[in-house]
Structure 1
Amino acid sequence: MSLTPRDLGMDVPISRRDFFDGIAVSCVAGASAASTTGPIAGPVRTAAEPATAPAALTVLGDTGEALSVPHALRDGRFWEHAGAPAPTGEHYGLVVVGAGRSGLSAAAEWSRRRPHDRVLVLDNHPEGGAGRERLRRGAAFDAVMCDKESFGADTLVTLASPGWIDRLPVAEQARADLRTLYDAPPDWLPGLSPEAKEERLAGLTYSAFLREMCGAHPDAERFLRTMSAPEWGYDTRAFGAIDAWGTGYPGFAGLGLDRSRPSRYNSAAVRAEWHGPAPEPAPPAAGHVRWSSPVVSVRDGAGAATVGYFDGHRVRTVEAGAVVLACWSAAVPYLVPDLPEERRRALSRAVRVPLLRAEVRLSDPAAWRRLGVRRVRWTGAYWCAAEFAAPDLVRLLATPCRSELGPDAGSAAGRRELFRTPYEVLEHTVRDQLARLLGPAGFDPGRGVAAITVHRWGHALAPQYCRPWHPFHPDGPSPADAARGRFGRIAIAGSDAGDGAAVLAVEELSR
């Protein structure tokens, strides 16, 4: 039975927060009387709302302070009020823009090659990266909610229990197909060489592999569809079959492919997992990181490049023998106005994947403990994953990407939809799914929620060149190849620029 908005607690005064790319969109407390048909006009504050968010509700990813200057630069508002840049008189062998993995790797590689050079890393985030949390790859789900959106009714199935496939609310043929996929998949491509099999897989999404190659029942494909969503930001209608093989999804064991190495068709992220997580690079001893210093201009000159950054009061400039741009590709054209048009077009093709996170503070977490599971995947509801993260904290994840359109077009469409979705709609879906999940264990969504914070990330995950969507992969040339080449004393090496971009950038600048 569907619960009314009042049953769900939509009119109960609680702390409500809404952030888009780290910037507060709306702050609403008390009765949620705003229309649910259009965007929320924020910020709004009522007397019932605390002046600051509860201490346990932290902003994940980029902060408003980190993004305000880049957004003003993008919108053409920054230089109207910035004033003339003030030279610091500092000169460095290398200036790196961005203190993420690529930026620190470039700085470390430069210092290894030129140990006597001074190196400066500039980053728009506060010290430590402002909690830029990433999804945990490979974290196991205890249970799957076969939800009414997919199968007409909600059925929670615990995966650790024997015979779990028999309890799925799917057609009997789908149960048989799932047993085959998980326990004894045959060789779907007999007679082909391993190389030819990998090539065939590279031409399919995982959903297409299940339907077309395995002949799986639609219920089986629907049950598996959201497997990729929590880690990749899109479901298996966009997730490549060759990467599903590389990540250990069911259905591939009978193909006889070599599991000791990745396929040449695997995306860079999947290939990297064969060697385990890479260690976090540290800033070189000869340099340092200057936090809360968003770069606003990079210009190549006759004797040196000039890098301008905002220190919170005015624009300061330093000179550099070389510059590595280890930031978002989409930001580069705004920093380097002289960049050729071909490079600008190539950079614009790096489409990041949007994500939506919610943190829910429970006033009574006993129901979740009675449920007996920690992480739950949903098969078709708005929020695709729920995790019991602390004694009274639940985190939910949604993937706005329109996966049926592919990772690039789907991310762009999903980002637009994410921006237009009213906060009240998001809160309603949060409460509704918690009621459906925890209600049988005694949870009251009207009185059981103390605070809800929503984080909308329009550009959350770096793009991956992957099959079947990018036919130039892996042989190239790729948009990253056109985007990241050297431009005078400047080279591009952000996470959008492809695998190994940091080392390539340093090699190019060292010639």
Structure 2
Amino acid sequence: MSLTARDLGMDLPISRRDLFDGIAVGCVLAPGRAAAEPAREAVQEAQDRAAPFTVRGDTGEALSVPHALRDGRFWEHAGPPVPTGERFDLVVVGGGRGGLSAAAEWLRRRPLASVLVLDNRDGEPSEEYGEHDSHGERRSAGRGAGPLRRGTAPDAVMCDAESFGTDTLVGLSSPGWIDRLPIAAQARRDLLTLYGDAPDWFPGLSAEGRQERLAGLTYSEFLREVCGAHPDAERFCRTMSCPEWGYDTRAFGAIDAWGTGYPGFGGLGLGRDEPSRYNSPTVRREWHGPVPVPPAPAPDERARLRPSSPVVSVRDGAGSASVGYFDGHRVRTVEAGAVILACWNAVVPYLVPALPEARRRALREAVRVPLVSATVRLRDAGAWRRLGVRRVRWTGAYWSWCEFAPPGGVRLLATPCRSELGPGEGSAAGRRELFRTPYESLERSVRDQLARLLGPVGFDPGGDIAAITVHRWGHALAPEYCRPWHPFYPDGPFPAEAARGPFGRIAIAGSDAGSCAGSASEPVARGEAAVAAAVRAVEELSR
């Protein structure tokens, strides 16, 4: 059933904080028009009876300066830099986990040092999705860090209209659930084989040969080309990897699908004592169980945090380094005894133009994976309780995962990566599409999917939603070398090794510089990457 905008509650007045051309504008939106500056009473009335919709993360405001640098437009209008007269022992570029870890490690070694942390976002220090734990759908050892907190497998799968023409919710806890899937009969038989008594797909090959064969395939290719699975069976499995990796099984390697317990590998006779040398760093690092993610350091009161200050230039001089940042009006510069770039690697070439071209190319190869998450506050959680499940994976809708978060919230996750293009190209293409997606479309998709899921048990998307917060992260998960996309893995040489290392008084940190460089001998899980890279950068500048 197709729901209209009115059915979804999109016609109700809503208190919003939208961002237009990098300027925060508070307004009340009514159907088809944006009201002019309304009276205080009207604003309060709308807020009292409407569901607030907020966008956080990579907003237009936070990205306007980095994108202008990338496009070569910034310095045309910026004007000459203005020195502030400030000097710090260390300036950290980036206020996420890596930046705060670098500041904390520097101050641990030098308690009396002066430290400045510059971040492009406003408010609290930015959090990096790559350092979060997550859920995933798997059946045995091997857990990868990902965009959401670690949890258990889904209780149900929504075989949605986007994939199979109609919405059908199927619980996974009772025997015979495969027989209830709205897919072709042959696809159900194929899934029974994959989940049950899968054969030996590679007779005659050694264990090393089988692993090498898996390393050359994505999981979707394994299902289609090796198992001969019906397209409906592959389509049913496609979003299994989304909550954990940020892309679907068209980009997720078969060797890591085996390592994390996906169906179809039972007949290969591969031992579970140790991972394959071809498994990605995260899978190898967490083979014997989840690795605790180091807690995010709280901002050290001895370090000064300056938000809404995107850095635009870093130059290593004769006696000190110079760091320029945009304060919203002009470029200001501070002097630094040392600089740690705990930002996206792909941004570094635009900040440090003096870097050798080989390092610039290597840094640009670190393409991060985009994510969108939403938090919905419900006025009445009764419908979700009546549904009888907590976690739901969707097979093809925009939001691929949703879960109930007691006492009255819902969390959703979307993975914009164009997975058919691979993790790198797909992330870049998905990020472009994400930044072109209107906020209204994000809100409508949240309301629509909750209505489709919970409507049959009495949910009203217009009256039962109290607030929606969307976190938009165009550059969310740190990239990770993996098969089949990086044939140089695990033996190297790795582009990240060419990208990192000190450059005068400048060192490169951030999770891009950590998880990318993981190898079969030194695996680094995503959750550890930013902290490990921060400690290494401080060590490099201390020699």
**Do both proteins adopt the same fold according to a TM-score greater than 0.5, normalized to the shorter chain?**
yes
Residue in 1 that maps onto 2:435: 419
1:289 Cα deviation after fit: 5.8
Deviation string 1:59-101 (CA, Å, 9 cap, x unpaired) is 65457776566556555169726741123244x2x54433444
Alignment deviations for residues 32-64 of structure 1 (CA, whole Å, 9 cap, x no partner): x27xxxxxxx99876765698999977654577
- One of 144, 159, 162 as aligned partner of 1:149: 162
Whether 1:272 and 2:288 are equivalent positions in the alignment is no
Asked whether the equivalents of residues 306 and 317 of structure 1 are also in contact (C-alpha less than 8 Å), the reply is yes
Alignment of 1:23-422 (within 5 A): 29-31=29-31, 33=32, 60-61=56-57, 70=66, 75-76=73-74, 80=78, 83-90=81-88, 92=89, 95-103=91-99, 106=102, 118=113, 120=115, 122-124=117-119, 129-130=125-126, 132=128, 134=132, 135-136=147-148, 138-139=150-151, 140-274=153-287, 276-280=291-295, 282=297, 288=303, 290-292=305-307, 294-309=310-325, 315-320=332-337, 322-422=338-438
Instruction: Write the letter of the residue equivalent to 1:219.
Output: D
Structure 1 residue 179, shift from structure 2 partner: 2.5
**Alpha-carbon distance between aligned partners in 1 of 2:23 and 2:194, rounded to the nearest angstrom:** 44
What secondary structure is seen at the aligned counterpart in 2 of 1:384? strand
Contact 1:73 1:296 in 2 (8 A): yes
Q: Secondary structure at the match of 2:399?
A: coil
Identity %: 69
- One-letter identity of the residue aligned with 2:169: L
Moved more, 357-366 or 127-136: 127-136
- Matched residue, 1:37: none
Higher deviation after alignment, 309-318 or 431-440: 309-318
Distance 1:156 1:82 in 2: 60
Distance 1:62 1:417 in 2: 14
Cα separation, partners in 2 of 1:16 and 1:110, compared to 1, 3 Å: closer
How far has the Cα of 1:469 moved from its partner?
Answer: 1.3
Q: Secondary structure at the match of 2:480?
A: coil
Number of the residue aligned with 1:10: 10
**Cα deviation, residue 317, structure 1:** 1.6
Name the CA distance, whole Å, in 2 between partners of 1:55 and 1:440: 22
Residue matched to 2:529:
none
The CA deviation at 1:197 is 1.9
**Contact 1:188–1:254 at 8 Å: present in 2 too?**
yes
Cα deviation for residue 403 of structure 1 reads: 0.9
Contact between 1:467 and 1:473, CA under 8 Å: does it hold in 2? yes
5+ long unaligned stretches in structure 2: 133-146, 518-531
Q: For 1:204, what is the secondary structure of its paired residue?
A: coil
Deviates more, 1:400-409 or 1:16-25: 16-25
**Matched-pair contact (CA < 8 Å) for 1:143–1:377:** yes
Q: Which residue of 2 aligns with 1:39?
A: none
Deviation at 1:236, TM superposition (A): 0.5
User: 1:38 matched to which residue of 2?
Assistant: none
> Compared with structure 1, are the counterparts of its residues 16 and 59 closer, same or farther at alpha carbon in structure 2 (3 Å cutoff)?
closer
Q: What SS does the aligned partner of 2:346 have?
A: helix
- Normalized against structure 1, the TM-score is what? 0.84
TM-score (norm 2): 0.79
Gap regions ≥5 residues in structure 1: 35-41
Return the match for 1:443 from 435, 459, 481. Answer: 459
Letter of the structure 2 residue corresponding to residue 278 of structure 1: V
Shift of 1:455: 3.4
Question: Counterpart of 2:142?
Answer: none
CA contact (8 A) 1:105 1:503 kept: yes
Change (3 A) 1:508 1:119: same
2:489 aligns to what SS in structure 1?
A: coil
| 1:86 counterpart letter in structure 2 | T
Q: How many aligned residue pairs are there?
A: 499
User: How far off its partner does 1:418 sit?
Assistant: 1.9
Deviations 1:487-510 (A, max 9, x none): 223232221222464455455545
* 2:257 counterpart letter in structure 1: A
Deviation at 1:26, TM superposition (A): 8.8
Note closer, same or farther for the CA distance 1:332–1:55 as it changes in structure 2 (3 Å cut). farther
Letter paired with 1:419: F
Counterparts in 2 of 1:480 and 1:454: CA distance versus 1, 3 Å: same
Decide whether aligned partners of structure 1 residues 249 and 56 sit closer, same or farther in structure 2, where only a CA change above 3 A counts: farther
SS of aligned partner of 1:471: coil
Q: Note if contact 2:17-2:53 (Cα within 8 Å) is conserved in structure 1.
A: no
Bigger mean CA offset, 298-307 vs 202-211: 298-307
Give the structure 2 partner of residue 477 of structure 1. Answer: 493
Deviations 1:101-136 (A, max 9, x none): 444555666678x66884736241567624555422
**C-alpha spacing 1:475/1:104, structure 2 compared with 1 (3 Å):** farther
Give 3-state SS (helix, strand or coil) of 1:488's partner: coil
For 2:508, give the aligned amino acid: I
Query: What CA distance in whole angstroms lies between the structure 2 residues aligned with 1:414 and 1:44?
Result: 34
8 A contact 1:346–1:482 mirrored in 2: yes
Relative to structure 2, which stretch is displaced further, 219-228 or 340-349?
Answer: 340-349
2: CA distance between counterparts of 1:486 and 1:173? 57
Letter of the structure 2 residue corresponding to residue 356 of structure 1: V
